Amino acid sequence: MSVDLAGIECNDVRAYAQNVAAVIHEPLLVLDEGLRIAAANDAFYADFDLGTERVENRSLYEIGGGRWNIPELKELLEKILPAKGTFRDFELKCDFPELGRKVLFINALRMPLGDGKQHLTLLGFQDMTTEHFLEDAETEYLGILEELHSIVLRFNERGAITFINRFAQQEFGYSGEELVGKDIVGTIFPAGGDRQKMIQEILRAPEKYSLSEFPAVRKNGEEIWVQWAMSGVRSRN
C-alpha cells in the first residue's frame, strides 16, 4: 500500500487519515508520531469491547487498562515501522483480560505530514482467532486420523487426494508425498471404466456410498478389495 501525500497540508492529511478510518470495516487506528490515538473507527471500539471508554488523544499503550502494552507490538511500532515505513500481516498472539486469547494480523502504514518532519500511522487489525482455532482443530483431528490402524484418505471435489494416513500409505505402498495432490483415479482407484463418474457421484451424494466395497490398487499393481465408509465434509472456505 502506498499513498502519495507530498505537498498536502498537515490538516488535510489528518482529515484524510480520519476519513479512511471511518470507512474501513476492520478495526483501524490513526496514531500520531508519539503513538497517541488521533482517531479510532467504530470497528475498533466494537471488536475490542471498549464500551464507552474514549481513546482519542491517549497513548495506545494506556487504553483498555494497558492491554496494548505488548512488547512485540512496541518493537513493531517503535523500531521496525520507522525503518521500513510499513509492515503487513504481522501475527500477534495475545491474551486480553476481558476478551481471552486473540490472534491478530496487524498492518501499518507510516504517512508523512507536510514537509515530512512529522507523520501519522495507520494501524489496522484483522482478527484471525476463529481461523486459527479451526486450523488448530483440523491439525489435531488429522493427527488422530494419522494414528488409526485403518485406511483413511481425503480427496477434494476434483478427485485430488488431500490427505492419506500412515496406515493407508503402508497398505498401498506409497508415501504421502507421492499421493497428495494426485488424482485418486489412477492411483488408489483403478483407472478406466466409469471410475471418474463414480468419484463425481461420491462427491455429490456421499451418503449413497456410506458403506461400499469396491476395488483399490496398490503401487505394485496388485488389486485389493476394500470396504469404504464415505462421508462428505464441507470446507470452511
Which range of 1-10, 83-92, 95-104, 135-144 scores highest in mean pLDDT? It is 83-92
Residue 32 dihedral angles phi and psi, to the nearest 5°: -85, -175
**What is the spatial distance between Cα 33 and Cα 26, in angstroms, rounded to a whole number?**
22
What is the structure's pLDDT at 20?
Answer: 61
- C-alpha grid cell, residue 62: 494506556
Judge whether residue 236 has pLDDT over 60.
no
Contacts of 140 (CB under 8 A, 6+ apart): none
Predicted local confidence at residue 169, as pLDDT: 92
pLDDT at 22: 59
Whether the CA torsion 69, 49, 45, 84 is positive or negative: it is positive
CB distance 31 to 53 below 8 Å: no
Q: Which of 38-42, 84-88, 143-147, 223-227 has the lowest mean pLDDT?
A: 143-147
- Mean of per-residue pLDDT scores for the chain: 80
How many Å apart are CA 25 and CA 69, to the nearest integer? Answer: 24
Beta-strand relationship, 118-127 and 100-113:
antiparallel
| Whether CATH 3.30.450.20 fits 149-228 | yes
Assign 191 a pLDDT band (cuts: 50, 70, 90): confident
Please give the full DSSP string across 65-118, using - where no structure is assigned.
HHTT--HHHHHIIIIIHHHHSEEEEEEEEEEETTTEEEEEEEEEEEEEETTTTE
Please name the residues in contact with 135: beta carbons below 8 A apart, sequence gap of 6 or more. Answer: none
Side chain identity, residue 77: L
Least reliable range by pLDDT among 102-106, 170-174, 230-234:
230-234
Residue 5's pLDDT is 35
Residue range 61-94, pLDDT digits in tens = 998 888 899 898 999 999 999 889 998 999 888 8
Which residues touch 219 (CB under 8 Å, ≥6 apart)?
Answer: 172, 173, 174, 178
| pLDDT tens for each residue of 4-47 | 333 334 455 556 556 666 557 789 998 988 999 988 888 888 88
Give the pLDDT score at 106. Answer: 92
Residue 223: how many other CB atoms lie within 10 Å:
9
Cα angle vertex 162, ends 176, 141, to 5°?
90
CATH 3.30.450.20 residue spans of the chain? 10-127, 149-228
- The CATH code of domain 10-127 reads 3.30.450.20
Q: Which three cell numbers stand for residue 38?
A: 488521533
- pLDDT band, very low/low/confident/very high, at 131 (cuts 50, 70, 90): confident
State residue 58's pLDDT score. Answer: 92
